[in-house]
């Protein structure tokens, strides 16, 4: 019988691979795992207790908050605050960042940005949803409250990032810059166990994920790439399959494992893009690159974008290397024709 490797065991074994191997990051990842188990419990009993549906309020994004959005947000904030490794957080559900000024947290070396429950529109219909998180070392002096500059760092400066997928099974996938590993929650023992070691995304695939209902509002280059995906070509395995769940984590996770590209471009009605750079795009771009894939905003590497505000949005192309490169070539081809 093969040895079961739990998340805690794995993180402790790999601690030496991390440049700041002092134990705080190990504890922080454990805090994320605990909060994930709490959210998993609530998601699994959502139809049995009164936590489905809208809360009746909107968040800073102008989106209607779901009850589970708020429950997940509070669960992760409690975990981060009680752990002592984090001096502040920024969440998609909150207007501004939150600096922890209690004695337990003010010396924390990290800040965390997160989307507590991605895919809120799918909560009520039992479709996979997820949590996305991004971890940075603080810039400000330990012992002082966290400041905005701690959160407005390039994605390339992340020390760890990952996501939790709540679906047919619950998975935690993360990277500290030394590859990507996935852990599946075993409900019989209440532990995340290593199930997908050293994840490598295929260089190409046969899946493209885009909301084609918005295609007429997209740049001509996006339309050209989608047309390319639809064309018959036995040599390249086309036509590709269009697969769009509407939960970013679920679409990204499938493409990461099977090969594919996820596209949420700028549109006429969303000229800056729809997805949030700090809570969604950067952490998943970090995972994509660590698995051998690529991520851009349509013009530049996602991880090189210098953020100017907490809730900044951007266009997003992420997934298998060859497919992202092809989509970029279509964008540049159309731009060259227009200019």
Give the C-alpha distances (Å, rounded to integers) separating 62 from 92, 125, 278, 302: 11, 22, 17, 24
Per-residue burial over 243-272, b if 16 or more Cβ lie within 10 Å, else e, is bbbebbbbbbbbbbbebbbbbbbbbeeeee
How far is residue 295's CA from residue 300's CA, in Å, rounded to a whole number? 9
Q: Are 332 and 325 in contact (CB under 8 A)?
A: no
Is 167 within any annotated ligand binding site? Answer: no
Give the C-alpha distances (Å, rounded to integers) separating 275 from 201, 280, 297, 321: 22, 7, 10, 21
Is 119 within any annotated ligand binding site? Answer: yes
How far is residue 310's CA from residue 146's CA, in Å, rounded to a whole number? 14
Is 121 within any annotated ligand binding site? Answer: yes
How far is residue 232's CA from residue 313's CA, in Å, rounded to a whole number? 34
Sequence-distant (6+) residues with CB within 8 A of 270 are: 313
Closest to 279 measured CA to CA, from 82, 139, 120: 120
Is 205 within any annotated ligand binding site? Answer: no
Is 169 within any annotated ligand binding site? Answer: no
Sequence-distant (6+) residues with CB within 8 A of 206 are: 237, 238, 240, 241, 259, 260
The residue whose two tokens read 């909301």 is 211
Is 117 within any annotated ligand binding site? Answer: yes
Is 24 within any annotated ligand binding site? Answer: no
User: DSSP letters along 252-266, please?
Assistant: HHHHHHH--EEEE--
How far is residue 217's CA from residue 234's CA, in Å, rounded to a whole number? 30
How far is residue 322's CA from residue 261's CA, in Å, rounded to a whole number? 9
Is 115 within any annotated ligand binding site? Answer: yes
Q: Are 68 and 255 in contact (CB under 8 A)?
A: no
Known binding-site residues equal: 92, 115, 117-121, 211, 244, 280
Known binding-site residues for substrate equal: 118-121, 211, 244
Known binding-site residues for Mg(2+) equal: 92, 115, 117-118, 280
């Amino acid at each position: 019988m093969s040895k079961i490797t739990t998340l805690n065991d794995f993180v402790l074994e790999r601690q030496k691979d991390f440049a700041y191997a002092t134990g705080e990051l190990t504890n922080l990842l454990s805090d994320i795992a605990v909060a994930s188990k709490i959210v998993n419990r609530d998601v699994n009993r959502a139809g049995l207790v009164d936590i489905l549906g809208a809360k009746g309020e909107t968040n800073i994004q102008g989106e209607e908050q779901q009850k589970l959005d708020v429950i997940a947000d509070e669960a992760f904030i409690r975990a981060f605050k009680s752990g002592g490794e984090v001096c502040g957080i920024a969440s998609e559900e909150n207007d501004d960042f939150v600096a922890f000024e209690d004695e337990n947290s003010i010396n924390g070396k990290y800040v965390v940005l997160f989307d507590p429950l991605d895919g809120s529109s799918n909560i009520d219909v039992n479709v996979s949803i997820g949590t996305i998180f991004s971890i940075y070392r603080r810039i400000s002096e330990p012992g002082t409250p966290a400041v905005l500059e701690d959160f407005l760092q390039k994605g390339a400066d992340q020390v760890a990032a990952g996501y939790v997928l709540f679906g047919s099974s619950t998975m935690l996938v993360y990277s500290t810059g030394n590859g990507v590993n996935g852990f599946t929650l075993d409900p019989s023992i209440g532990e995340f166990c290593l199930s997908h070691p050293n994840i490598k995304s295929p260089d190409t695939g046969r899946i493209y994920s885009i909301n084609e209902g918005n295609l007429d509002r997209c740049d001509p280059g996006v339309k050209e790439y989608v047309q390319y995906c639809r064309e018959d070509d036995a040599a390249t395995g086309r036509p590709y399959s269009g697969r769009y769940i509407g939960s970013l984590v679920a679409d990204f996770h499938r493409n990461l494992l099977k090969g594919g590209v996820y596209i949420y471009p700028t549109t006429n009605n969303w000229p800056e893009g729809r997805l949030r750079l700090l809570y969604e795009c950067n952490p998943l771009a970090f995972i994509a690159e660590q698995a051998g894939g690529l991520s851009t905003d349509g013009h530049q590497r996602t991880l090189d974008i210098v953020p100017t505000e907490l809730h900044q949005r951007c266009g997003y192309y992420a997934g298998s290397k060859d497919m992202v490169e092809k989509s970029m070539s279509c964008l540049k081809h159309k731009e060259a024709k227009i200019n």
